[in-house]
């Protein structure tokens, strides 16, 4: 089955491509000729995922899915949440985002957090939402060079490695995105 993943994020494309496996052909926005920036104008992960998938479906009529994900930190009342990618500004710098997160957590004992991902799928006869999450804590300093975004600061519950210290296979066993994609794949396989 051919599916367009409505994202230009190469890290997400790698992660999801590895999770989908050989039963699916993953097309990128470039593959379908979509070169414009997708809208993300809502204040929820669910709303942004649906908005991006609907944008692709309405203009290209190709089975597609989109995701939105965010880091929700308990002591910051769920921030950065839906604004995770632009936490430190519209330039979307992971280093600046991580620095700001550590500044805002400075002196706070509660460092509980969770990554949450929402996938919105559009097929001709279906519109479905899938959600994955992983709980953990925010460390006081980054560890690891793999992964991206907040991965160097996030230590999943029950793990000794941050997401940035894990290889792709290890990360895909526990990540929030992997949880949502596994639900997506199970649903797609059930259609056969």
Is the CATH number 3.90.950.10 carried by domain 2-190? yes
Per-residue pLDDT tens digits for 76-129: 999 999 999 999 998 889 999 999 999 999 999 999 999 999 999 999 999 999
Looking at the predicted structure, is the pLDDT value of residue 65 above 80? yes
Residues serving a catalytic function are: 68
What pLDDT score was predicted for residue 189? 85
Q: Give the residue extent of every domain in the chain.
A: 2-190
80 upstream amide cis, omega within 30 of 0: yes
State the sign of the Cα–Cα–Cα–Cα dihedral 166, 102, 92, 57: positive
Q: Which of 4-8, 125-129, 156-160 has the lowest mean pLDDT?
A: 4-8
């Amino acid at each position: 089955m051919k599916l367009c993943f409505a994202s230009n994020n190469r890290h997400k494309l790698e992660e999801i491509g590895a999770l989908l496996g050989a039963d699916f052909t993953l097309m990128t926005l470039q593959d379908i000729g979509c070169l414009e920036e997708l809208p993300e104008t809502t204040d929820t992960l669910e709303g942004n995922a649906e908005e991006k998938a609907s944008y692709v479906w309405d203009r290209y009529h190709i089975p597609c899915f989109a995701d939105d994900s965010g880091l929700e930190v308990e002591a910051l009342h769920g921030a950065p949440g839906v604004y995770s990618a632009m936490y430190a500004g519209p330039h979307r710098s992971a280093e600046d985002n991580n620095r700001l997160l550590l500044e805002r957590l400075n002196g706070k004992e509660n460092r509980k957090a969770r990554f949450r991902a929402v996938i919105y799928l559009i097929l001709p006869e279906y519109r479905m939402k899938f959600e994955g999450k992983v709980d953990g804590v925010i460390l006081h300093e980054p560890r690891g060079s793999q992964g991206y975004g907040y991965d160097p600061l996030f230590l999943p519950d029950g793990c000794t490695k941050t997401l940035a210290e894990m290889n792709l296979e290890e990360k895909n066993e526990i990540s929030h995105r992997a949880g949502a994609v596994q639900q997506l794949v199970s649903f797609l396989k059930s259609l056969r």
